[in-house]
Structure 1
Amino acid sequence: MIVKFCGATTEAEVREMAAAGADLVGLWHGVPGGRAELTAARLSDLAALALAGGRLRPTLVTFSSDTQALLATVAATRVPCLQLHGFQPPDTVRALRRDGPPGLEIVKVLHLRDDVCVEERLTGAYERAGADTFLMDTVTADGRLGSTAEPLTDTAVTALADRTGLPFLLAGGLHAGNADDFAGARAHPRFLGIDVDSAARAGDGLLRADRARAVAHAWRTA
């Protein structure tokens, strides 16, 4: 099962996530006002550190729809995975697939509010445009996206998974104690893994190996 921890901003956090046995580390760029937003230079440094370690795949997490800027960033940083966390249209996915480097993994986030997928009518278009994976996450009542610490329901996740055709990751308030709450999602044939932020952070707000390891162990052995 894939485990991703999101929002690293320091070299120490990248190393801690590798030590915790993570597969992916999320690096924010193009998330205006985001608490983990990185400059292009900082993104490049942390992506290079993750790649050099040989275990972690750095993932560019962005709200941007500027395909040319995104392609330039992917080329400069050599990130193998791009997570479109905003409301980018299928045309953005199509352009990234057409013009991006071979092997670039494109993850499109699907946002659920009150168990209803905001992008429901576009899921088929995203698949045809070339997305590799969906990531199911919460959008709050006040419109906040990403790192909300608000969980989805298992029934909503599995129902949406049944209506779509791509492998999927699960996000939204996941922690070491709620793996059993998502038995249906975990048993789904297209379930890939989880994307975690808040539960892997210590009191200082930084990602820590012991907390991340506890989450990964709980979900991998549930």
Structure 2
Amino acid sequence: MSTTRHLSQTLLKVCGATVPQDIEAAAAAGADCVGLWHGVPGGPSELDPDGLAALAAAARTAGLLPVLVTFLADPAELAGIVRATGVRWVQLHAYQPPAVVRALREALPAETGIVKVLHVDEGGGCVERPLIGAYERAGTDLFLLDTATGDGRIGSTGRTLDPARLTALLPRLTRPFLLAGGLSPDNRPGYEEVVHHPGFRGIDVDTAARDLTTGRFGVVEISALARAWRTGTHTPAHPAHPRLELSR
């Protein structure tokens, strides 16, 4: 199945699928994208290459956009994974420098999107802040703002970002962004200013997308996220980009 959706609607990405049932739940609940972990050492949702390829295929069949979520920093290796699995977005979820983004942009098919995570600590600091312009020039299509904890953990921490501290970072961005970090249906009202920023494109959720009993993605939980965060469409201030449409 192939559909195209413009990023004027709030995107919902659920992250950390590991079994086909996760894909089925995400699709049934109205998610747009599913994050598939590979190259995340010790990660609870880590997939081997065969598992990544299988779930990426299942996601495409279900009408979801599969996103490779990785700590890897070798552009040639990453490009090979993209070709082997057919993923259309790559999310660099560690501290890869702008040079890696540039080399990856040159190595990937033109239609493949690159998402670079910006790690915001609980005091509002962002280690990548001085490099934002360099990441943009290197070929980043989309940023993802996520929490870095005081003990150094990154990715699916379940820790919430302070909306007031986020708004201080947003003027530095000339690319659109997704929001992550402890998001839930209940805390949506606190992010009103962020959601109405012209660069906002959607949310990326792991913990709140899961059934607390099974630990798997839950239709009820993902549906609640979709209802709470999709508060209407807005016209992006940033020009539309071919890679920033969901071709699934």
Contact 1:161 1:168 in 2 (8 A): no
Q: 1:192 aligns with which of 178, 196, 201?
A: 201
Q: 1:8 aligns with which of 1, 17, 21?
A: 17
What is the alpha-carbon distance in structure 2 between the residues aligned to residue 29 and residue 13 of structure 1?
Answer: 16
Instruction: Tell me, yes or no, if structure 1 residue 212 matches structure 2 residue 219.
Output: no
Q: 1:19 aligns with which of 18, 28, 31?
A: 28
Instruction: Tell me, yes or no, if structure 1 residue 175 matches structure 2 residue 184.
Output: yes
Map of 1:105 onto structure 2 = 113
Query: 5+ residue gaps in structure 1?
Result: none
Give the secondary structure class of the aligned counterpart of 2:216.
coil
Instruction: Tell me, yes or no, if structure 1 residue 79 matches structure 2 residue 87.
Output: yes
Give the secondary structure class of the aligned counterpart of 1:73.
helix
Give the secondary structure class of the aligned counterpart of 1:83.
strand
Map of 2:76 onto structure 1 = 68
Q: CA deviation at 1:102?
A: 1.6
Map of 1:39 onto structure 2 = 48
Contact 2:76 2:107 in 1 (8 A): no
Map of 2:243 onto structure 1 = none
What is the alpha-carbon distance in structure 2 between the residues aligned to residue 205 and residue 92 of structure 1?
Answer: 34
What fraction of aligned residue pairs are identical, expressed as a percent?
51
Amino acid paired to 2:144: L
CA distances 1:141-165 after superposition (whole Å, capped 9, x unpaired): 0000011111111122222111111
CA distances 1:15-40 after superposition (whole Å, capped 9, x unpaired): 11011110100000000000000000
What is the alpha-carbon distance in structure 1 between the residues aligned to residue 165 and residue 92 of structure 2?
Answer: 21
CA distances 1:26-65 after superposition (whole Å, capped 9, x unpaired): 0000000000000000000000011122x20000000110
Query: 5+ residue gaps in structure 2?
Result: 1-9, 233-248
What is the alpha-carbon distance in structure 1 between the residues aligned to residue 165 and residue 112 of structure 2?
Answer: 29
Give the secondary structure class of the aligned counterpart of 2:72.
coil
What is the alpha-carbon distance in structure 1 between the residues aligned to residue 204 and residue 64 of structure 2?
Answer: 14
Amino acid paired to 2:204: D
Runs of 4+ in 1 over 2 A off after TM superposition: none
Q: 1:124 aligns with which of 120, 133, 136?
A: 133
Contact 1:171 1:194 in 2 (8 A): yes
What is the alpha-carbon distance in structure 2 between the residues aligned to residue 4 and residue 10 of structure 1?
Answer: 16
Contact 2:163 2:194 in 1 (8 A): yes
TM-score by length of 2: 0.88
Q: CA deviation at 1:221?
A: 2.8
What is the alpha-carbon distance in structure 2 between the residues aligned to residue 164 and residue 191 of structure 1?
Answer: 11
Map of 2:152 onto structure 1 = 143
Map of 1:152 onto structure 2 = 161
Which structure has more RCO (C-alpha within 8 Å, separation ≥ 6)?
2
What is the alpha-carbon distance in structure 2 between the residues aligned to residue 152 and residue 126 of structure 1?
Answer: 22
Q: CA deviation at 1:209?
A: 1.2
Aligned residues: 221
Q: 1:58 aligns with which of 58, 66, 71?
A: 66
Query: RMSD across aligned C-alpha pairs, in angstroms?
Result: 0.9
Map of 1:115 onto structure 2 = 124
